[in-house]
Amino acid sequence: MNPAKLLKEAGISYEKDDTGSLNITVSINDDERSQLVVIDRNVDEFNGVKILEIWSKAADMDEVSEKYYIKLLKRNSTTVIGSWQVADDSLIFCAKVPLESLTSEDLDAIIDAVAIEADNVEKRFSDEDFF
């Protein structure tokens, strides 16, 4: 299944960036805030299953204390979809899902979950809406 096709089926607007990843701006709290969610262009494979990464940046690494990283690692144990990760110099929330069985409704729900989780943490580090 093609992620762009699933987004179209769900009625979700997106932009393709220069790397080929799909960028979705999600409105949060009735447009009070927004959060950028990325569907990575790279599709990983595990044991023959294609895995899609859907992620959103919450902060720059240098803004986050070691104590807060530990809190997020503990939170990973209770999060059903997605986990907190460090990518390059960023703190991101990332869901890795099987592409073949993904429906447009599932994708919509996962995008929202990733956006809300990342935005909630972003608010802890800034009054601004950077991501």
Give the number of C-alpha atoms closer than 13 A to the C-alpha of residue 60, restricted to the C-beta side: 4
Domains of the chain by residue range: 3-125
Indicate the pTM of the whole model.
0.92
What is the C-alpha to C-alpha distance for residues 55 and 84, in angstroms, rounded to an integer? Answer: 10
- Both tokens of 77, joined, read 């144990």
Residues 1-34: pLDDT tens digits? Answer: 799 999 999 999 999 999 999 999 999 876 688 9
pLDDT at 130 over 60: no
* pLDDT for the residue numbered 81: 93
Domain covering 3-125, topology: Yope Regulator; Chain: A, (3.30.1460)
* pLDDT for the residue numbered 106: 96
